[in-house]
Structures are given as C-alpha cells and as structure tokens.
Amino acid sequence: MAKAAFTVWENRIAPVFDVARHVRLVETENGRIVREDRAELTEESPVQKARRIADLGCGILVCGAISRPVQEMASAFGIRVISFMSGDEAEVLQAWLEGRLDEERFAMPGCRRRARGGRGGRPGRGSNCGGRGRGRCGPDGRAATGPAGRGAGKNFKPR
C-alpha cells in the first residue's frame, strides 16, 4: 500500500509546491488505485504544507518546483519527494503508476536528467530537480526506470 500526494492546479501539477493550495491524494495497492481524495493546503508556510502532507499519511510527494530547505524538511518528515515535475495531472498520475515519471516530457524545463548506467541517471550538476535519478519511484516501490522494484527507495538521499 502506498499513498502519494500530487500538488495540482488547473488540472496540472502545480508549478510551485511552496505556495500550492490543492493536493490530490492517491492510495495504491499492487500498482492499482484503491482510493482517491483531494485536500486543500491552507497552511501559510511551505514547511507547514510539507507537515500536512505527512499528516495526511502520504509517503510520496509528486510536485513542481520546491525550494531546497522545504524539500529537506519534507524528507525529514519521511516523505519521498519527486519534485520539478510538470504536466497534465492525469498523465503524471498514470506515468507514476506505470513507473514512467522519468520521461523527459514530465521534467520541468532546465531540469533535464542525465543518463547514469541504465538506472535512470541523475540530475544535472547543481540541479535539485526531482527525485528523478535518485528516488525514482512508482507506487509500491517500483522503479521509474529499469526493472520493476530496482532502484526505487534505494540510495535516496535528500539533498
């Protein structure tokens, strides 16, 4: 069972987590959605928003741009952050379910991933972009690239 939060705005991934106001919550089991919900992030401060995501029981956050201290706090709250994502909300959700979030089209501009030995690569130098290339993940611990189950949840270190 995995519970993920997607910060959304106008049916797309919200551009900036720090000021995001709406979140789509998805619970999955064996790669299938078993429950869905939505919630508002009325909290003023970005850290409180991250705290709220943790309180909602989400272990994964898929979001747009996020400032580094907030990402570090979210990681400290036990949330795996897949950041600097963009695209249509439904498409991103589907890609996450299928472990395809590291596809180029879901990366925000300037957050291109560099290949790394077949494991999905790592973000470009100086980039904070996403968990892609580090904590690449689909639901239930599936890796975004490579064989299912490899890579996800391993070597994930908040920057």
The window from 69-77, 95-103, 135-143, 149-157 that contacts other proteins (CB under 8 A) reads 69-77
8 Å CB contact between 129 and 123:
yes
Alpha-helical segments (H) within 56-134:
68-76, 89-97
The window from 31-39, 50-58, 93-101, 142-150 that contacts other proteins (CB under 8 A) reads 50-58
8 Å CB contact between 81 and 131:
yes
Asked if 114 touches other proteins (CB under 8 A), the answer is no
- How many CB atoms neighbour CB 104 within 10 A? 8
At residue 37, the 3 state secondary structure works out as strand
Question: Is the CB of 18 or the CB of 102 nearer to other proteins?
Answer: 18
Q: What is the CA radius of gyration of the chain?
A: 14
Asked if 44 touches other proteins (CB under 8 A), the answer is no
Site of interaction with other proteins (CB under 8 A): 9, 12, 14-16, 18-21, 47, 51, 54-55, 64-69, 71-73, 75-78, 84, 86, 108-112, 124, 126-129, 159
